[in-house]
Amino acid sequence: MKIDLHVHTTAFSPCSVMSPDDAARAAIQAGLDGICITEHNRLWNKEDARALWEKHGLQVFSGMEVTTSGGDILVFGLEEEPHEIWTPAQLKEKVDRVGGVAVAAHPFRGFLLFGFGALQMDLTQAVGNPTFSQVHGLEVCNSLVTDEENEMARRVADEMGLLKVGGSDAHNIRAVGTCITEFQDVISDEKDLIGAILSGRHTTRRMK
């Protein structure tokens, strides 16, 4: 199953220019089986996600991109919205308590722009990021970062034994399905999605 795990819409993400209906239509056009809507610090009502699913015949799941003191973290399974800035450790505790999953989003975004070459950061230094010890995985395919930044995320995930997932981080219809996670398992609800992510029985790839 091909799922874009990182999508923003105008419903709750002011930075997006894509309505939920547009996101669903773009996903179908891209040949996806489903999308996970991960608004910034806001959760989608499960009934609304189900209604969008039934309207378009596309699986629609609800996640969230949480702004923490250690960077942005995608969470799946958490049903509590932040009303303050949590640390990655605080978020991880909440996610673990409900049997969810936490993934560091675009962990090296802007790294080249802000001095990657000058710093000459190597893999050992990258692995030392304290946020990475408070997540289950890293987003290693994100359409809004460079190939080098995605590759560094992949190398760090391999070195630390973390899960590797992909999501477009789409804010417009052109980006939907750019980066995806392809699952071996059949996924029928959010519990299945969480189990499938944690199982590691998936790969990531860029589709366009």
Q: Could you give all domains of the chain from N- to C-terminal order, each with its CATH number?
A: 2-206 (3.20.20.140)
pLDDT (tens, 9 = 90+) of the chain, 208 residues, equals: 999 999 999 999 999 999 999 999 999 999 999 999 999 999 998 899 999 999 999 999 999 999 999 999 999 999 999 999 999 999 999 999 999 999 999 999 876 544 444 445 678 888 989 999 999 999 999 999 999 899 999 999 999 999 999 999 999 999 999 999 999 999 999 999 999 999 999 999 999 8
Tens-place pLDDT, residues 68-110: 999 999 999 999 999 999 999 999 999 999 999 999 999 998 7
Rg (CA), the chain: 16
99 and 110 Cβ atoms separated by less than 8 Å: no
171 and 181 Cβ atoms separated by less than 8 Å: no
pLDDT of residue 125: 81
What is d(CA 134, CA 204) in angstroms, rounded to the nearest whole number? Answer: 21
| Strand order, beta sheet including 137-141 | 163-166, 137-141, 101-104, 71-76, 59-68, 34-37, 2-7, 179-183, 202-206
| Residue among 25, 64, 73 at smallest CA distance from 44 | 64
Residue count (the chain):
208
Partnered with residue 139 across adjacent β-strands are 165
Residues 6+ apart with CB under 8 A from 104: 71, 72, 73, 74, 131, 132, 135, 137, 138, 139, 153
Residue 45: exposed, middle, or buried by beta-carbon count in 10 A (0-12, 13-18, 19+)? exposed
pLDDT of residue 115: 47
What is d(CA 21, CA 26) in angstroms, rounded to the nearest whole number? Answer: 9
pLDDT of residue 109: 86
pLDDT of residue 116: 47
Q: What is the dihedral of CA 26, 28, 34, 39, to 10 degrees?
A: 10
